[in-house]
Amino acid sequence: MAKYAGRNVIVTGSSRGVGDLLTRHFLDEGATVIGVARGPAGCEHERYRHHQADIADPAEVQKLFALLRTTVKTIDIVVNNAAVLTSQYAMIMPAGAAQAMVNLNLLAPFLVAREAAKLMRKSKSGRIINISSMAVSLEPEGDSVYAACKAGLTTLSNVLAKEFASFNVTCNTLGITAIETDMLKQLPRDKIDAVVARLPIPRYATADDILNVIDFFASERSGYVTAQTIYLGGVH
């Protein structure tokens, strides 16, 4: 039987990159996926519901969940994947770009987790998984705000884990290493290659590396696993 049959899964940033990968994985494993992105859908599937929304806007998140309360009614798994990266030395980083990263990389996961928890509370179960980055550990030059947001995401996740534990909602973080995505293409390839070469396991992440940990956190058997961060590739 498919691993996620009958489950409702929200994936933010679903139309591209890791979000698209996760969306297709959950669909392949029988879930209904509610994909959220600012742009159009990245896939078509009978169990895929696409919502165009800016999840950094509290009003849009509330509107989305008001709709979900009357349509799918329950949410089993949330993957906070949507993120934006502007890599730039701090002294020339535009304030607007920094603010946009804080809004989408930190505020948005909070807003989505908050609204999802209100639904999960009714069913007394749920899994919230936040996608972080090796940037937290590697602290690359140019990624000050991005890395800080992702570090904050772990703290956010750990506090939410405590607040949501009484209704069996777990909250965990997956720190991914470099994988071929649109976001990665924004960065100089030689620099990324050099970073990857210095990882304990010196290679790019594969789709299965990511899906393996996602499945672990999302598993019904992982109800006693919360407030944890797993980094890929030996990063810590």
Partner 1 sequence: MASQAAVIEIIYRALRSLNEELEEDKRVALAPDTRLFGPDASLDSLSLVSVIVDVETAVADELGRSVSLTDDTAMTQEVSPFSNVTTLADYIVKQLAQG
CB of 118 to partner 1, least distance (A): 5
**Under rule CB under 8 A, residue 162 binds partner 1:** no
CB of 170 to partner 1, least distance (A): 18
Residue 167 vs 216, nearer CB to partner 1:
167
Contacts with 161 (C-beta within 8 Å, 6 or more apart), sequence order? 170, 171, 172, 226, 227
DSSP 90: G
In the range 102-141, which residues lie near partner 1 by CB under 8 A?
118, 121
Q: Is the dihedral of CA 158, 164, 166, 168 positive or negative?
A: negative
Q: Which amino acid is at 182?
A: D
Q: Using the rule CB under 8 A, which residue among 62, 99, 206, 212 binds partner 1?
A: 62
In the range 164-223, which residues lie near partner 1 by CB under 8 A?
166
CA atoms within 13 A on the CB side of 1: 5
Residue 58 vs 140, nearer CB to partner 1:
58
The helices-and-strands tally (H runs, E runs) of the chain is 9, 7
Residue 167 vs 204, nearer CB to partner 1:
167
CB of 166 to partner 1, least distance (A): 7
Q: Using the rule CB under 8 A, which residue among 38, 69, 97, 215 binds partner 1?
A: 69
Tell me the C-alpha distance between 231 and 174, whole Å.
6
How many residues bind partner 1 (CB under 8 A)? The answer is 7
Tell me the C-alpha distance between 132 and 176, whole Å.
6
Strand partners, 80: 130
CB of 68 to partner 1, least distance (A): 11
Binding region for partner 1 (CB under 8 A): 62, 66, 69-70, 118, 121, 166
